[in-house]
Amino acid sequence: MANKKKKAAKAVQAIKVTPENKCRLCTGTKCCQYITLHIDTPRSMADFDTLLWQVSHHNIQFYKDSDGWFMLVVEAPCEHITETGQCAIYEIRPMICRSYSNDECEFDSSAEEGFDLFFDSHQALDDYCRKRYKKWDKRFKKLAGK
């Protein structure tokens, strides 16, 4: 199986990738495997405490890039991906799918490489909050109004 994958990867390397053929060469239809939700920029300890609760759930991540903060729900494949990786509703696919450009997409590099910040676990976000807020450990009293 590993050899098969290596051979397939080598075959792709040998082909000149263009925007026209890229999606056909892409295995796994990576851009249809998740959704993103724009969220308000978290500023307070209360905001980050809520994100900590959310990121503790499976398949939830957060990132910040030049467009702001986003919740990323991963391993959430679209129900319209066919067995061959095509879009089963291509003619009536939603606008967000139509406007997605493959000029620079997950085929070229992982999305994380373009993020300013990225949190995929409670630990990662908690570490960030500890650096950001001196009194992070004392937040519960404050948030409880004590």
Which residues are near ligand SF4 by CB under 6 A?
A: 22-23, 26, 29-32, 78, 80-81, 87, 89, 93, 97, 102, 105-107
- From the list 66, 64, 59, 65, the residue with the least C-alpha distance to 47 is 64
Closest separation in Å from C-beta 126 to ligand SF4: 31
Which residue's CB is nearer to ligand SF4, number 3 or number 110?
A: 110
Closest separation in Å from C-beta 113 to ligand SF4: 14
- From the list 81, 86, 55, the residue with the least C-alpha distance to 69 is 55
How far are the Cα atoms of 22, 28, 40 from residue 12, in angstroms, in the given order? 10, 14, 40
Closest separation in Å from C-beta 28 to ligand SF4: 8
Which residue's CB is nearer to ligand SF4, number 26 or number 52?
A: 26
Closest separation in Å from C-beta 67 to ligand SF4: 18
Burial class of residue 133, CB neighbours in 10 A (0-12, 13-18, 19+): middle
Which residue's CB is nearer to ligand SF4, number 80 or number 139?
A: 80
d(CA 146, CA 76): 40
Which residue's CB is nearer to ligand SF4, number 74 or number 105?
A: 105
Closest separation in Å from C-beta 109 to ligand SF4: 11
Burial class of residue 91, CB neighbours in 10 A (0-12, 13-18, 19+): exposed
Which residue's CB is nearer to ligand SF4, number 23 or number 124?
A: 23
Q: Which amino acid is at 29?
A: T
